[in-house]
Chains A and B, each alone.
Chain A
């Protein structure tokens, strides 16, 4: 026979059980949220560190880029050409005077001597002109070589920052795991207890009340046929 208590058990059991499950689920969800947040915090911290490194890298790159803008590049090219031309012209100019090496007779007419000096001067001038042109030609290579060296230095600096950023990133997965472990909090037993209580109440309601105090085995009746 179904009493009031059994009815209450039938209704309250599943409700309490459901509340217990909800509490448990909510705690698990909160745990997951905390763990995700902890991982994200580590990520944000690492990205903030790497942002500074990226900023420094960009500064190096920007400085290098500015140095390769049209006017700057033209200026560098002009400087390279002038530098080499100047050096080569100086070498041509410093050629020992040939007139001193040619032993002309004392009776040599003045006109011959001046003609010879003129020809020598022309020869040296031609050579200087050639040196100037060679300097201009080689200046292109010098300019790009210098640009290459500047690129190399910028690359080295950026490479160092990149190395630092890689080092920070390499730590990230481990730091995230540690942060996640720390963010995890054990689920409180309330949810589980409520679920258990709910189950018991349901059993009580469904089973027609509390278990009976005494139980008569059917074999008893077999052994005492007079009782049936």
Chain B
């Protein structure tokens, strides 16, 4: 009508709908985060969320208490009229009626903190969350904020999922990795050491210096080399574990970025598990080289020199490789 005041558009902020929705949403978010962290079982969390979302336990007026089930073998109740008055004081007291809810007449104790009174609203203020959400969507500004809050909550959920998927990469995991690393190289080293010790024993015994200071020195040098090699392998194991840890952290960072970009916790959880599984597969390792090669060098040189030495009492060189009998002469 001409001159009538234009109708003011709906504002979720002014009407208080947004605050009501946020209060319920915060509560649900809290439960979901607690469930994601494993602080409460999923089923229990879902039941609590359903109760908040639907307001099932509180929307209907509280029904009249159901009659308490009488125990089967119990004696006749007082109301029946068959109980003699003198017996009444000796009869067991009737069980107290359980608190009731809409459907089954029972409100689980864990639901009590999430009832409207606990949430700070009266029953008349209590509305279904989905109704509130639909109502808030009429206000574009509040709808945007609602979606942003939901996005942020999903990111928080995804973050917890990532942290949990990567929680297995703890100190124990890296210690096991180091043990596996040394477990691969130490036996090879010990085997080589055993073989070189045998060879050196044979060589020293052959020359009759096994029980001499030279022999002792040689064995001591060999033992030191062995010990140093073990130290180096352990050091490399620590470096390799650090490298692996850096890879794990890098993968975690990537997932955090993806989580923030996608804000879809379920997809991120799947990727986190995939990444964490892929990281478990170790890289390839080359077998140990010949650590004690130099230990027998002196003896090798000795043998070589001995083989190539000039014949005794002869000045000229004679090849150690016989060419057979026969004659030859030089033709000028």
Q: Which residues of A contact B (CB under 8 A)?
A: 42, 84, 87-88, 90-92, 94-96, 98, 101-105, 108-109, 112, 115-116, 119-120, 122-124, 126-128, 130-131, 134-135, 138, 141-142, 145, 149, 152, 155-156, 159-160, 163-164, 167-168, 171, 174-175, 178-179, 182, 186
Selected contact of B144 from candidates A101, A119, A156, A174, CB within 8 Å? A174
A84-B238, A102-B197, A105-B211 given; A160·B159 CB < 8 A: yes
- Pairwise interchain contact A87-B234, C-beta atoms closer than 8 A: yes
Complex interface residues of chain B between 224 and 245 (CB less than 8 A to chain A):
224, 226-228, 230-231, 233-235, 238-239, 242, 245
Distance of A186 Cα from B215 Cα, bound (Å):
109
A87-B238, A112-B216, A119-B216 given; A127·B224 CB < 8 A: yes
Tell me the smallest distance from the CB of A48 to a CB of chain B, in Å: 13
Tell me the smallest distance from the CB of B251 to a CB of chain A, in Å: 12
Tell me the smallest distance from the CB of B295 to a CB of chain A, in Å: 12
Q: List the A side residues contacting B151 at CB < 8 Å.
A: 167
- Pairwise interchain contact A98-B219, C-beta atoms closer than 8 A: yes
- Pairwise interchain contact B148-A167, C-beta atoms closer than 8 A: yes
Known contacts A101-B197, A123-B224, A167-B151; 10 additional CB pairs below 8 A are A92-B227, A98-B226, A105-B210, A112-B211, A116-B220, A120-B223, A123-B220, A124-B223, A159-B257, A171-B144
B3-36 CB mask vs A (1 if < 8 Å, else 0) is 0001011010000000000000000000000000
- Pairwise interchain contact A130-B238, C-beta atoms closer than 8 A: no
- Pairwise interchain contact A152-B11, C-beta atoms closer than 8 A: no
A95-B227, A138-B235 given; A171·B253 CB < 8 A: no
Residue in chain A with minimal CB distance to B252:
A156
Distance of A182 Cα from B6 Cα, bound (Å):
12
Distance of A122 Cα from B223 Cα, bound (Å):
10
Count how many pairs of residues, one from A and one from B, have CB atoms less than 8 Å apart in the complex. Answer: 136
Tell me the smallest distance from the CB of B291 to a CB of chain A, in Å: 13
Q: List the A side residues contacting B144 at CB < 8 Å.
A: 171, 174-175
- Pairwise interchain contact A123-B223, C-beta atoms closer than 8 A: yes
Q: Does B190 contact A (CB under 8 A)?
A: yes
Selected contact of A91 from candidates B156, B193, B234, CB within 8 Å? B234
Q: List the B side residues contacting A90 at CB < 8 Å.
A: 234
- Pairwise interchain contact A116-B216, C-beta atoms closer than 8 A: yes
Q: Does B286 contact A (CB under 8 A)?
A: no
Q: Which residues of B contact A (CB under 8 A)?
A: 6, 8-9, 11, 140-141, 144-145, 148, 151-152, 155-156, 159, 178, 182, 190, 193-194, 197, 201, 210-213, 215-217, 219-224, 226-228, 230-231, 233-235, 238-239, 242, 245-246, 249, 252-253, 256-257, 260
- Pairwise interchain contact B197-A98, C-beta atoms closer than 8 A: yes
Q: Interface SS of chain B: helix, strand, loop or mixed? A: helix
Q: List the B side residues contacting A119 at CB < 8 Å.
A: 216-217, 219-220
Distance of A103 Cα from B205 Cα, bound (Å):
10
Selected contact of B201 from candidates A103, A108, A142, A174, CB within 8 Å? A103
- Pairwise interchain contact A175-B141, C-beta atoms closer than 8 A: yes
Q: List the B side residues contacting A149 at CB < 8 Å.
A: 245-246, 249
Q: List the A side residues contacting B201 at CB < 8 Å.
A: 102-103
| 8 pairs from A and B in contact (CB 8 Å cutoff) | A102-B197, A115-B213, A116-B215, A116-B219, A127-B227, A155-B253, A160-B156, A167-B151
- Pairwise interchain contact A124-B231, C-beta atoms closer than 8 A: no
Distance of A164 Cα from B159 Cα, bound (Å):
13
Tell me the smallest distance from the CB of B2 to a CB of chain A, in Å: 11
Selected contact of B253 from candidates A120, A126, A134, A152, CB within 8 Å? A152
- Pairwise interchain contact B260-A130, C-beta atoms closer than 8 A: no
- Pairwise interchain contact B216-A124, C-beta atoms closer than 8 A: no
Distance of A87 Cα from B9 Cα, bound (Å):
71
- Pairwise interchain contact B216-A131, C-beta atoms closer than 8 A: no
Residue in chain A with minimal CB distance to B14:
A182
Distance of A57 Cα from B256 Cα, bound (Å):
16
